[in-house]
Structure 1
């Protein structure tokens, strides 16, 4: 009796165990199927778009143009023969003459067929971080120019001066470009940034620039600023006064222009190596007395030269002792000239704004070292610019003043509501006045 009962119990146990094994196996199969599906989804490539192409559809080759390397050489190295290369260059030169503007150090991308042949189908050249040129030659040959998407992000920063404006902003991880904008553009005529006071403080609303949402290219512009120097407030608001020419200036809360009509110097971070002197002895002329009717600003070769005021370029050429030079007429009274350039950027007829780059420092013409000779005319006569009572920048018109005051009202509220940092000044200083360079 007991044996029969044991056999029945054993059979039942076997059936339950078999059922459990089948169920477990089924669950494992289902789990296996789900896992494989999940893996397939994970392995599925995410579409990556750049220059208008889905890069997943190509074998992508990236490089930079090497010194002495030509467009034709690069294509030839990538399985394209010279007859086709010549045809590509001729067919696309009206859109973009790549053979002429090809420069060493510039990046390029080649999109190749995704097969064993890896034949190039498109060539993308980037003359700047923002611009790119696409040359397609898979089926038909054509080219087009475009720009990468740009995003501007508005940001704010505040600070208390303990040593210098540049150090304060650097400690906050803000680009040095913001220092230059504040010191050389916005407050250049109202605050001496080399003589800031300990405890001076500031607020700035500015925009950062990004390409493709991720490539940071630095500070783009300053929307508004507040600087408290010697307990005196200095507001600055950017406002466009000429939409046709794209002229923007900075004005205070009462619509007074913060800028002067002329910059103090045509180059940044330079020194005056020779002043205007009608009885100067010049080495290149045998130390004979020869009038020097310009002011020499010594700077390394390649330093950008800026137009000191808005105006129209009347001359851009190379001639005699002047070397490469540019001359600008600012109005019926004032003209400026910039000599000994390595290379000229501005062309005759160009309208240039104050601060625009018109060329680069060089040693062309009669010169003993790299510098720009800055010459200044008043009513057709060369004079010393440092002895002139130069005018303020053009005031805002009455018609725009009302518009300006309405425009800055919400911006000032935004600026005033930005709290200052509760910074603790680190070490007491023996002197209250800070005189180090910014």
Structure 2
């Protein structure tokens, strides 16, 4: 009997021991690992996984040759690349300090560059590909436009109103300078004035925010008076775009008030001006000087054709534009011109930059204005309105804006309101919806 019990106990222990060993062995077995291909990363038209990617910016003293030599490319090859690519892009002369570049290098121990990509701005990029044969081309990154809406009620000024909502201050500049410059004085906005705007934001590669691209339509209520604005292209050949109200009336004048956005009048048109340096003799000043820092963009104040873009005597570097049979304008003392003789320019186009060439005591643009061949004071002239919509386009325009206006009218104002009691005290009767 005792022998039988010992035998049974031994069998039970052995069984349990085998079961535990099997459990341990099962825990030690690891599942097979699955190899996952890395996700393809595409940029500049290349699969970056195929290269060793090196990114940097152009440093002071850098040249294309210096960058290539640092990356083990010899002079004969550098010369061939520069000569082969110069008809498409002069890589030896046009690199600017601070601009980014990318090298696509071979995936081996040498990591030799096979492609040089230069970005002169956020949208464009230049590809110099010399992996097999040498070729160069310029391309643009994919752009996405997202249409958005915004509203605001003025408390102190429009910039603060936009900033409080996390909106771009460029919206304020565009409304003040591009749309309502001749109908609303944005320096005298009233507390309680309000606006609605439909605009588009611009993105590069779906993720890089570039800023506000354009305003499609706007409604501004100033001193209880409504001002509508709708963007409409009146000339598809020359690409002329204007803003018109609900009755198809152009909102701007034929001429901008100033050729620079951020400048002040330092000297006005004055035919009786006397200067101490010249012994207080009468030295007529037939222009209006706008002081601004060197490099400030100078804009064409109206549509027209460039008749002169040169340098001469005390005028320094300058541009002259004929706008029609009656009006001409001239812009003196430029650092550099951005247009050529015979070129058509639109109002607001950059025609040059503020400088100090010619006879000048400081950086400014001397703005001269001709009417029927005689220089006059533009600040005293009753300037003409911009060209109205033609009768043939008016019907199309009114049909075009109908759904946009319905959408604009349907946008509700932001619920953040100004204290109505305080408004009453200030005799403002605007009531937010």
Classify the TM-score, shorter chain: over 0.9
Match of 1:223 among 216, 224, 230: 216
Structure 2 match to 1:90: 83
What SS does the aligned partner of 2:15 have?
helix
* Structure 1 residue 376 corresponds to structure 2 residue 369: yes
* Structure 1 residue 345 corresponds to structure 2 residue 338: yes
Distance 1:287 1:109, change over 3 A: farther
Match of 2:119 among 126, 131, 156: 126
Q: TM-score, normalised by structure 1?
A: 0.92
Match of 1:53 among 46, 50, 59: 46
Structure 2 match to 1:15: 15
Question: Structure 1 residues 178-187 or 99-108, which shifts more?
Answer: 99-108
Q: How many aligned positions are there?
A: 426
* Structure 1 residue 333 corresponds to structure 2 residue 322: no
Deviation at 1:25, TM superposition (A): 3.6
Structure 2 match to 1:436: none
Contact 1:277 1:292 in 2 (8 A): yes
* Structure 1 residue 33 corresponds to structure 2 residue 31: yes
Matches of 2:11 and 2:138, distance apart in 1: 81
Match of 1:138 among 126, 131, 134: 131
Match of 2:315 among 319, 322, 329: 322
What SS does the aligned partner of 1:8 have?
helix
What do you get for the CA RMSD once the two structures are aligned? 2.0
Structure 2 match to 1:298: 291
What SS does the aligned partner of 1:170 have?
helix
Matches of 1:105 and 1:90, distance apart in 2: 24
Structure 2 match to 1:159: 152
Question: Structure 1 residues 64-73 or 223-232, which shifts more?
Answer: 64-73
Question: Structure 1 residues 259-268 or 55-64, which shifts more?
Answer: 55-64
Matches of 1:238 and 1:6, distance apart in 2: 101
Matches of 2:342 and 2:146, distance apart in 1: 35
Distance 1:284 1:116, change over 3 A: farther
The CA deviation string for residues 7-33 of structure 1, in whole angstroms up to 9 with x for no partner, is 43652564356346535643652xx31
**Structure 1: segments with no counterpart, 5+ residues:** 434-438
Structure 2 match to 1:74: 67
What SS does the aligned partner of 2:187 have?
coil
Structure 1 match to 2:387: 394
Structure 1 runs (4+) deviating above 6 angstroms are none
* Structure 1 residue 241 corresponds to structure 2 residue 234: yes
Contact 1:198 1:432 in 2 (8 A): no
Contact 1:64 1:106 in 2 (8 A): yes
Deviation at 1:128, TM superposition (A): 1.4
Structure 1 match to 2:431: none
Structure 2 match to 1:385: 378
Distance 1:350 1:237, change over 3 A: same
